[in-house]
Amino acid sequence: MTNNAGKAYERFSHKLATEAMIAPCPHVLMVNHEDGIKLDPSMGDLEFTTVGENNLHAFRVIGWPGRGPKLDRVKARDIRSLKGTMTPRQAAAIYGVHVQTSRDIWSGTAYRQAA
């Protein structure tokens, strides 16, 4: 899809469906799946919520613990020790982080306290 300026952007199908059947989604809201199943696009399952309401709903419905740091000092130290033995992508895959996180740890711009 493109915006009025011709710039490409991505939209999720459930958001497009909700906007077509209910109303345009205000900029500050997002689409929530009431049953917690993201692959269920049925209209009775979709609603507009704030990010905070969506996070609270996710915690209550599916037990999602929220976003917290993926790494602690020990894991960051482990990633740092892997430098030279594998690629940043391989290290990132092992610890479930973005490849840039591995690069930042190796360069010393992230998790400096784990040195």
Backbone torsions φ then ψ of 58, nearest 5 degrees:
-60, -40
Same domain? For 81 and 109 the reply is yes
CB 46 within 8 Å of CB 32: yes
Q: Are residues 17 and 58 in the same domain?
A: yes
Q: What one-character DSSP code corresponds to residue 5? A: T
Is 78 found in the same domain as 39?
no
Q: Is residue 6 part of a domain?
A: no
Dist CA 18 CA 36 (whole Å): 16
- 51 and 78 in a common domain: no
Domain count along the chain: 2
In a domain, 67, yes or no: no
- With a cut of 60, say whether residue 10 has pLDDT above it: no
- Give the pLDDT band of residue 106 (cuts 50, 70, 90): very high
Does the residue 8 lie in any domain? no
| CA 86 – CA 99 distance, rounded (Å) | 12
| Tens of pLDDT, residues 46-66 | 888 898 888 888 777 767 665
CA-wise closest residue to 76 among 56, 55, 96, 49: 96
In terms of pLDDT, which residue wins out, 109 or 13?
A: 109
Q: What is the DSSP letter of 45?
A: G
**Same domain? 25 vs 56:** yes
Residues 52 and 18 in one domain: yes
Range of the structural domain that residue 82 is part of: 73-114
Indicate yes or no: pTM above 0.95: no
What's the mean pLDDT in 90-101? 90
